[in-house]
Amino acid sequence: MMKNCEYQQIDPRALSVSPSSTQSHTETKVQRSRRKWEVFPGKNRFFCNGRIILARQSGILPLTLGLIVVTCGLFFAFDCPFLVKHLTVFIPVIGGVLFVFVVTSLLRTSFTDPGILPRATPDEATDIEKQIDTSGSSTYRPPPRTKEILINQQVVKLKYCFTCKMFRPPRTSHCSLCDNCVERFDHHCPWVGNCVGKRNYRFFYSFIISLSFLTSFIFGCVVTHITLRSQEGKSLVQSIQESPASVVELVICFFSIWSIMGLSGFHTYLIASNLTTNEDIKGSWSSKRCTEDSGNPYSYNSIITNCCATLCGPMPPSLIDTRGFLSLDEAIPAASASELELPPFTAKNDAHMCTQSTKDVLERMVHSYDIHDLCPPGTPKTTPLGLEVSSTAAPSTEPSPSAGCLRQHALQPMADPCPPFSRSSKRRDSLHSINPAFRLASPSPSLSHTTLILGDAPAIGFIPLP
Amino acid sequence: MATEFHNLQELRHSASLVTKVFVQRDYSEGTICRFQAKFPSELDNRIERTLLEETVKTLNSYYVEAEKIGGQSYLEGCLACATAYIVFLCMETRYEKVLKKITGYIQEQNEKIYAPRGLLLTDPVERGMRVLEISVFEDRGSGSSSPSSSLSSAGSSAR
């Protein structure tokens, strides 16, 4: 029998009653108070009881550390004795200082919270929903994904993040690898194993600058070493045979120098113009995209001020409060949310879902009539686009949309329909060709839209009105 | 209509939460932390406009002070850079000091102004500096609090 889902906004007043009613239940359930890092929704790993934060995939951080330690170890063991004897004792001293700088900057970059924004509380998410759904109509319209604001007399679009359920502040981006919104998001660096954002950008910059100095210093010293050895009446080949470690260091340094120095130069340019890698790559403020009198609204229009603001500006504290204790009313939704989350919903699945044929999608939508309340939480992994919402095509977001429902009994993985509008032209062509069929399969525009706001508390959800 | 509470403890014990009002961030001057001075309409009959605006203005000035790029922040930055940022592990930054001041200010405002009117401000730091959350309470003893209980029963039956 066909059952239609009903969209119903959850009243925040209903929410507030729940903690008190389930007070006795939680007291038995939560024996010890947990720290907030234990229920952190993003894909991060925590060590030392919440003091150290890392991305889930540590990437090639061990390789980076290994390369640095091995190269410096070989340098100190094989080149320094010779150079100290022939030149000066300051060589290992300088090398040591640079090494300390490099390693501490690297560790600080990797282990510091890059500026993660905590996800919106259910009350906030409801409030935002209320604000954008101001028409008050019975059919559920999808909320607009962008909000335009004026920053320094320039129009900037704020995008809505479906995972974090909030309009992202300017310069904030959602990292798909860490599944967090990060303030002043620069990029996710696999070498460092963490995102680079507002709070650790200066550590990252000092890491690459000191690494450039270190690699050039070691390269120079090793070349000097081999040159001096060969000047003592031996041939070059003989000198190399006497000190094979130097060749290893030479090779490593030679290949690293180009990339590291290039990166340092690039980031120096970014700092001087107060840009992030993300903005530069997207060309958000380039002259091609923008009109004549627009540019970077965040720039202070002075290289020195830009540098000082980015590198010597105030250090904001971490907003996620990893070591705080969970209050009782936070513990319940967090605990049940973790029960609901299904492991299959990783980035891979989302990409897979997005590339499925629309035919499958249509079939599934027909099935969705029967399993109206079996919508599992899913999380979009990529940045949502500003969508053109049209009444004809089924509106959904570019990343795989999450279908959220009220606290429900069984959970079956239901793939979500892919959006008709996307950046890839291939997808667009295939969808346009079967657009009429797509429209037919979804009698009510409200039902075809499965992009719902999913709260961390299972009580939050929106079901489509018939 | 406005319920009277004499202190925060009384508020928490005897009142039930009706709704939460959110004051959003104002990004017109960039990414600096600043809250909108617009008065939310839901609080029209709960508190005087000027009081809330004054609180928001003071909070904004505190944030400006915290994020000011000037002599002290440069000194802090250069010192940190010179010590390979180890100094951040030992020392409290200026930003953190100002945030502590803000917490104290909000506590004081809650006790003096907002709790007697059945409102409670939540420190923006606890909400990721995105919103200034104002919880609106209603006295449980009074008859006007029935809407919340009836809604909860309606909500549970719908499931």
Interval B38-50: pLDDT, tens: 888 888 888 888 8
pLDDT tier, A39 (very low <50, low <70, confident <90, very high otherwise): confident
A232 and A161 housed in the same domain:
no
A131 vs A145: CA distance, rounded Å: 13
**Which residue matches tokens 């929903």?**
A129
Alpha helices in chain B (DSSP H): 8-14, 49-66, 71-82, 87-90, 94-109, 146-158
Q: What pLDDT is attached to residue A464? A: 44
Cβ contacts below 8 Å, chain A against chain B, sum to 134
In a domain, A79, yes or no: yes
CB of A145 within 8 A of CB of A384?
yes
Residue A314 to residue B130, Cβ atoms within 8 A: no
Residue B84 to residue A104, Cβ atoms within 8 A: yes
A185 vs A197: CA distance, rounded Å: 4
Q: What pLDDT is attached to residue B154? A: 44
When mean pLDDT is compared across A191-200, A230-239, A286-295, A300-309, the lowest value belongs to A286-295
pLDDT tier, A260 (very low <50, low <70, confident <90, very high otherwise): very high
Q: What pLDDT is attached to residue A367? A: 53
A376 vs A448: CA distance, rounded Å: 16
**A10 CB contacts (<8 Å, ≥6 apart)?**
A126, A406, A459, A460, A461, A462, B155
A92 and A131 housed in the same domain:
no
Region A231-248: mean pLDDT is: 81
pLDDT tier, B80 (very low <50, low <70, confident <90, very high otherwise): confident
Token duo for residue A376: 């599992």
**Which residue matches tokens 């930003």?**
B95
Question: A102-106, A235-239, A279-283, A296-300: which has the highest mean pLDDT?
Answer: A102-106
In a domain, A80, yes or no: yes
Percent with pLDDT over 90 in chain B: 11
Q: What pLDDT is attached to residue A263? A: 94
**Which residue matches tokens 């890839």?**
A424
B positions 92-131 inside 8 Å of A (CB): 93-96, 99, 125-131
Q: End of a domain among A329, A350, A368?
A: A329
Question: For residue A81, what is the enclosing H or E element?
Answer: helix A80-86
Q: What pLDDT is attached to residue A432? A: 43
A305 and A209 housed in the same domain:
yes
Query: Is any Cβ of chain A less than 8 angstroms from the Cβ of B37?
Result: no
pLDDT tier, A43 (very low <50, low <70, confident <90, very high otherwise): confident
> Does residue A405 have an active-site annotation?
no
A153 and A100 housed in the same domain:
no
Q: Which residue of B34, B38, B151 is the best one to mutate when testing the A interface, meaning the one whose CB has the most A CBs within 10 A?
A: B151
Q: Residue A54 pLDDT more than 90?
A: no
A224 and A106 housed in the same domain:
yes
Compute CA B23 distance to the chain's CA centroid, rounded to the nearest angstrom.
9
A226 and A316 housed in the same domain:
yes
A281 and A321 housed in the same domain:
yes
A77 and A218 housed in the same domain:
yes
Token duo for residue A124: 């906030």
A233 and A298 housed in the same domain:
yes
In a domain, A354, yes or no: no
A427 vs A354: CA distance, rounded Å: 9
Tally of domains in chain A = 2
CA dihedral A249, A254, A259, A262 (to 10 degrees): 120
B67 vs A352: CA distance, rounded Å: 43
CB burial of residue B111 (10 Å; 0-12, 13-18, 19+): middle
Q: Residue A132 pLDDT more than 80?
A: no
Q: What pLDDT is attached to residue A348? A: 46
Q: End of a domain among A313, A329, A345?
A: A329
Question: For residue A285, what is the enclosing H or E element?
Answer: none
A224 and A301 housed in the same domain:
yes
**A84 CB contacts (<8 Å, ≥6 apart)?**
A91, A92
Q: Provide the residue range defining the domain that includes A141.
A: 122-168
In a domain, A156, yes or no: yes
B72 vs B61: CA distance, rounded Å: 17
Q: Residue A92 pLDDT more than 50?
A: yes
In a domain, A342, yes or no: no
A59 and A136 housed in the same domain:
no
The whole-model pTM stands at 0.68
Give A39's DSSP letter.
G
B93 → closest Cβ in A123, A311, A314: A314
pLDDT tier, B12 (very low <50, low <70, confident <90, very high otherwise): low
Among candidate residues A5, A164, A189, A195, the one labeled active-site is A189
When mean pLDDT is compared across A16-20, A117-121, A305-309, B127-131, the lowest value belongs to A16-20
Percent with pLDDT over 70 in chain B: 78
Query: In A, which residues are within 8 Å of B158 by CB distance?
Result: 8
A64 and A210 housed in the same domain:
yes
In a domain, A273, yes or no: yes
B53 vs B50: CA distance, rounded Å: 5
Residue A171 to residue B31, Cβ atoms within 8 A: yes
Residue-wise pLDDT tens digits, A343-399: 444 444 444 444 444 455 455 555 554 444 444 444 434 444 433 334 444 433 333
How many residues are recorded in chain A?
Answer: 466
**Between residues A232 and A4, which one has the greater pLDDT?**
A232
- Closest Cα in chain B, distance from residue A122 (Å): 11
